[in-house]
Every structure is written in C-alpha cells, then in structure tokens.
Structure 1
C-alpha cells in the first residue's frame, strides 16, 4: 500500500495531498495547482455566465409562444449538470477536492412532457447553473488577485537584476510615483543599494505571503464546488443513512454466521464427541470399570474445554469486562493476550454509547489480532481519545506494513462494522512499515 492514507467510509477515497508548510508553500505543487485553477476561473466564468444567461433568457422569452421556451430551459438545466461534472473534475485535478457525484437525473414521468417537467425540477442542474452564474464576478476577482500577486512578487524579487532595464539618461531606475522625467516633481525612483535591497525584501515577503492568500481564495472555490456541484445535503444524508443501515445489516449477518460457524465447528462438535465418549463409558462401566473411569476423566477434560470455548465465544460477542468496567479495562485485557508488547492509553471524558463502545472494542481487538498474526511487529500501541464529538482509536505497530483494506477480508470486515455506526477507518501502511490504523466513531 502507498504511504498515503486511505480513508474508508465504505469505499476507498483518494488520499488528499498534504497541505504544505509556510516555508515550502511557494514551491509546492498544491500552490501552483490552486493558482492555475483560479486563473482558469475567468475562462469558465465568461463562458458559463454567457451560456446560462443567454439561453435561460431566450427560453423565458419563448415561453409565451406555445411554451416553446420550456424545452430549451430544461435542456440548459441538464447541460449545466454536465458542466458541473467537468468542474468537479477540474477541482479534483487542480484543487485536490474530490467531490462526490450527485444522484443521476431521473425522469419521473414518461414522455416528452415528463422529460421537460423533470428537467425544470432538477435541483442539481439549477445549482450548477447558479454556480456558473456566480463564477463570472468571482472569477474576475480571483484572476485579478492571482495575476497581480504573482506579478508583483516576480517584479520585486527580480528587481536587483532588472533595475538596469529601467535606467535611462533622465531616469535612474523604476519610478514608484511621480509625473515622469519630462515633468519632474515629487518623483521617487527605486535606486540605490538601500531601496533595491528593500524592494528585494518585499519580493521575498510576497513570495511567502502570496500562497497563503491564494489558499484562502481557493477555499471559497472549494466551498462553492462542494455546496453547488456536489450532492444536496438531504440527499447525501439519505445516502449515508442507507449505506450505514446496509452496513449494519451486513455486519449483523456476518456476526451471526461467525457465531454459527464457531458453535458448529467448536463447542457443538466437542459436545457431540463428549456424548459419544460418555455413552461408551456407560457401556463399559460393568465390564471394564478401569477403562470407563479413564473415559470419564477424558470426558471431564472435554467438558472444561467446551466451557472455555463457550466462554471465549461469549466474550467475543460482548465481553463482560466491557460492560462492567468500560473500554480501558477491556482493551487492556485484549492487549495482555497479544503476542507483542502493547501500550494502551484511553482518555475519554465520558463513556460512549454501548454500540460505539462495542464497535471500538471489536475494531481494536481485530487489529491487535492482525498485529499478532500478520505484522511481524516487535511492539504496538493503542491510543483512544476524544476529538470534539468523535471517539478516535489509533492502533500502531512497527511491523512490515503493506496492509490494504481493499485486499483482505479482515480490514474489509472492520470497514463494514465502522460504517454501521457512522464512522470512518483510515489505514496508513507503507511497505516496510510502520502501520497506523485510525478508527473514528461518533461518541
């Protein structure tokens, strides 16, 4: 698996490009991607504004003529859907903003008139049209800001090398203000070592401040893309709830199959063998009491093993220590059984709800089992803490790495369980290690 993290709320999402630090920002691909995006806004804004305004106004004007404008408006709204898809792709490529695709257009009633009515009532298309309408004034601002900032940065930081180009017989350097050499007045020229150095210092300052301003402007674009070109809020909530419900149902069915398999292959098989042994011991009681006594002793040992298996099975469903003493004690008990030393730290201001607590316990238990069986680690750690209204559990080991939720039923099962309670699972596991799995659950 790559070194970048994979956040899994049911499906793997592309890992975001990390935000560069202040000193690296001018030289990062993210800053230049944002700059290119903001400059291209002008092109998109002009074309989109003209397209929406011209054809919508034309459609409104044609509507009184036997409703001829309604099909045109519906076509414009649906075309804006396609434009929105291209803008999401542009944001994904240059802003690293991966916006989910809204639900597809659905014609509610058959026929041409049904298509027109569905197109006119398409909220996704109208939101995309609003996006294109707003892009023109916004793009003028963004284009002007980006070009001005980078031009000023380039001009000032290169002034020590370009000052000779401004010199002439009556002009010693670049003029900051004044009426010019033909009408001398209160003219001020950037000349002399002090002002040349000061100009260069301003250029260096702009070099590091410009990416911060561009980041703030690009944040507005990200908000516009998410709010106007992504799924509607209620639609996204319905989709998330549907996926969570399906994940919860799948997890419950998987747990039932696991319990049935463990009972069938473990305790049930052992009890059947025990019944057969006791039957044979009963038959030999009178003829061969010594053999019967030996078989009874073996059956007694089998009973102990069956009880232990049933106890472990019950603990796997819901351990008593979790109910009685909480997550800290339960995870400490799990860590004590791990084959490598595990440091456990739990810092929660309040006890979470039972489903979330059980999900956190189960996830950490499975992750520590993976550490024991597959990681080749020499030590591991478990840290559970609260971030606002979220429970965050981090399991880290120094093993060989390479864990991938897309290749392996263990992590895939954990993903489904986390989805069932509205959480996310993030795996960072480069080849060669270390592996860090972060489970985030609502408190």
Structure 2
C-alpha cells in the first residue's frame, strides 16, 4: 500500500483571483435567488402532479380493492402500485433537479420467475410500491396547502412592493384614488392607499413580506424533502442490502489481491530459491566423487540458501497470519510489529479481553500497513499505536510526527484500506494536514 505524503499546495502560495462577492446580502438577495425560484417552481409544479397522482392512486386502488372478489382485482391493484412507483421516479427526478435532493433509488421489484403472475406478485410484495402509494395519497393535501400558501404570500408581497409602480391603474381605469383597504357599500366611508406616506408604508410592508417569502418557501419544501426521502427513497433494508453487496465485492477483491500477492511472493521468492537449491544439490551430487571439496562448497551454499528460503517462508506466513497474534493476542503481535519498524514506535494496548479473531486480524494488518507507510513515506521521527475499546467498538489509532499530507481521496493505498475496513462495518478516518502530524483512526466492531 502506498500512501502519498507531502504538501498538495505550494507553501505560501495563495490564489490571486479575488473572491466574487454577491451583489446583494444573502437576506436581501433571497427573493431573487435562483434557489428561491427553483423551490417556488417545485411547489407550483407539484400541485397539478399531485392531483394526477392522487386521482390515479385512489381510483385504481379503490377499483382494485372492489374487484378483489374476482381475479381482476389483483392485476388492477398491481397496476395501481406500479403507476405509483412510476410517479415516484418522476418525483425523485423533480426533487433532484429543483431541490438539489439526491435520493437513492429503491430496489426494483424483481420477480424470481418470468411471467405476468410473478411480476404482479413482486410488485405487491415490494414495500417500495406501498410507500409510493402512501406518498401519492399524502402529498395531495400537502401540495394544495403548500402551493396555496406560497403563491398567496409571494403574489401579495410582490404586489405590495411594486404598488407605487402600478397604482395609476386605479384612478385611470377604476375611478378611485388607489387600492381600497376597507369601505362601506355606498362609498362614503372608504379608505384608499393614495397618499405618499400610505404608498410608502404599503411598499415597506410588501418588502418585509417579500423578504420573508423565501424562508417560508424553504420551510414548505423542507416537508417535501422529508416526504420524498422518507417514502420514495431506498429503505434501510434496501440500503443495507446494497451495502452488503458492495462489501461482498470488496471482500472478494481483497481476497483475490491477497492470493495474487502470496502467489507472486512464493513464485519470485521461496520457489525460485528452492529451484536454485535443487540445481545446486544436483550439481554437488555429481561432483561428490570427482571433486569432494567443490561438492562441499556447493552443499555449504545450498545450506545458506535453505536458511534464506526458510526466512522468506516465515515472513510470508507472518504476512498471512502471524502465530504470535493467535497465541498471545494484539499486544504482543503489535509490539513485535513495532520492533521491526524503522521508526521508533510506542505501543499502548488497553483491552479488557480479546476481540473476535477476524476483527483482531484486521486490526493487526491495519496497523501493519500504516506502520509500513510511516517507515516508507512519512519521514517521521516517532510514531504511536494506541488500541482500546470504546463503546462496543475497537479503536485503532496510529500517529506520527512526519510531514503529513496523506489523502485517501488521492487514490492512494488508504482508499483500499478504507474499503477493507468497510467490508466489516469498519470506518477509517485520516487527519493529516500538510506539515503533519498525521493521525489515522480505524474503528472496527468489537464482536468479542
């Protein structure tokens, strides 16, 4: 695993481009901000769509329920649910485009067998189908309320704010001095907004309402976000299944990579050395009667090769699973690992008992990879390894005082280590500012 250290930007270098400042403060610019118009558009478009969804869902669901006494009720009900799932796709796309809400796609309704009957059964059994139906029913009254409130306050705010610009229509076309606030039927006790002061107050009230409308719209669309994410997104079970499928792929890739590494080390190391050893012993056997001294030298060289081959096999076995880890646990295994590191390492293991063997092995190899990176890339003077149990989790922390700059997003070996930890519900956190120090924290489930 290669972990890139070093600064990602030049020291003292700053971006010379000036930061773009908004023309208006956020509070004053909110009424004309693109986000406000997108959210208002979401509420406006949502009303006709919700009417169609509600009418479709209620009509076909009621029809299917009424026909359940016959065979026709089941496919009609399945069609109602399938249509609601289709509306769910449209709603997720609308929320993504106008609200910036990226909702994970739920699992499709997959049938174990082919055919219409299997498809109907899959749709009826899918929880996503029934949540989509519930969304179609619940969203209609909310869309009516949200659209009415948003349009009312938006139109009133802008109308009052721009009243000084369009007041002239009253004396010219209505025969009155201005906008009538109240008045009797005979017109003798009427109050019109026609004086400069009244016009100014009206515009000020319109400004306040206009400035408040974006936050009102944002509050209304928050409810829509909750409905879309809660009813149209992937359920926790679906998300967990997808996560497990991803973890299974990561475990398979890791196992395949480990097998390739073992095969390569055996082929290039011990196997090649043993092949040379066999050739040397064969040559020594031929020279045994003709030149005993040469044969003795060959046997002596072969003896040295045997020792090297045994050492390589021990190192390979230690890389697969060290015996000291099985016999004595993490404390002794990590101490032995730290003793082989070229950087002085302080090890502190504080565990009430040993965790599960699989978790113990992953923790060992995590520390092994991180200490290898410390030795090869960090230029650190000292390093620390801290292992403890925290709230049902195994916490492994490796730190060094090197030059820092480790970034898992840069495609380094840290990304692969994070995937390996994620396969067992683990988490990897890297804190490595440029210039150091670096602290890498791995959390693993205890499973003791």
TM-score normalised per structure 1:
0.61
Q: Is the counterpart of residue 132 in structure 1 residue 136 in structure 2?
A: yes
* CA distance 1:112–1:324, change in 2 (3 Å): closer
Partners of 1:348 and 1:197 in 2: CA distance: 69
Q: Is the counterpart of residue 142 in structure 1 residue 149 in structure 2?
A: no
Deviations 1:401-441 (A, max 9, x none): 9845xxx9x678546523421357899xxxxxxxx999776
> 1:19 maps to what in 2?
none
> 2:267 maps to what in 1?
264
Residues 49 and 132 of structure 1 are in contact (CA less than 8 Å); yes or no, is this contact kept in structure 2? yes
Cα RMSD after superposing both structures: 6.0
> 2:80 maps to what in 1?
76
Distance apart, 1:136 and its partner CA: 0.6
Partners of 1:166 and 1:347 in 2: CA distance: 79
Distance apart, 1:74 and its partner CA: 2.1
Residues 163 and 202 of structure 2 are in contact (CA less than 8 Å); yes or no, is this contact kept in structure 1? no
Deviations 1:69-89 (A, max 9, x none): 443222122222222222222
Q: Is the counterpart of residue 191 in structure 1 residue 194 in structure 2?
A: no
Instruction: In structure 1, list runs of 5 or more residues that go unmatched.
Output: 1-21, 338-342, 428-435
Deviations 1:193-222 (A, max 9, x none): 996897598469638xx45x5555444333
Q: Secondary structure at the residue paired with 1:421?
A: coil
Q: Secondary structure at the residue paired with 1:134?
A: helix
Residues 177 and 192 of structure 2 are in contact (CA less than 8 Å); yes or no, is this contact kept in structure 1? no
Identify which range, 278-287 or 258-267, moves more after superposition. Answer: 278-287
Q: Is the counterpart of residue 95 in structure 1 residue 99 in structure 2?
A: yes
* CA distance 1:49–1:316, change in 2 (3 Å): same
Distance apart, 1:324 and its partner CA: 1.4
**Partner residue of 1:44 out of 49, 58, 80:** 49
* CA distance 1:139–1:325, change in 2 (3 Å): farther
Q: Secondary structure at the residue paired with 1:101?
A: coil
Deviations 1:272-321 (A, max 9, x none): 43454466568579947489559736853773586267336624656969
Which structure: larger Rg?
A: 2
* CA distance 1:61–1:261, change in 2 (3 Å): same
Partners of 1:329 and 1:178 in 2: CA distance: 90
Distance apart, 1:119 and its partner CA: 4.5
Identify which range, 109-118 or 192-201, moves more after superposition. Answer: 192-201
Partners of 1:31 and 1:92 in 2: CA distance: 15
**Partner residue of 1:85 out of 69, 81, 89:** 89
> 1:58 maps to what in 2?
63
* CA distance 1:138–1:89, change in 2 (3 Å): same
* CA distance 1:189–1:260, change in 2 (3 Å): farther
> 1:323 maps to what in 2?
330
Distance apart, 1:42 and its partner CA: 1.6
Distance apart, 1:234 and its partner CA: 3.4
**Partner residue of 2:311 out of 307, 313, 318:** 307
Deviations 1:341-387 (A, max 9, x none): xx9999999999564565466567668878999x9x999x9999999
> 1:422 maps to what in 2?
425
Partners of 1:98 and 1:393 in 2: CA distance: 34
Partners of 2:190 and 2:350 in 1: CA distance: 73
Q: Is the counterpart of residue 206 in structure 1 residue 209 in structure 2?
A: no
Deviations 1:160-218 (A, max 9, x none): x764655889999989x7659963579999938996897598469638xx45x555544
TM-score normalised per structure 2:
0.61
> 1:234 maps to what in 2?
237
> 1:255 maps to what in 2?
258
* CA distance 1:238–1:189, change in 2 (3 Å): farther
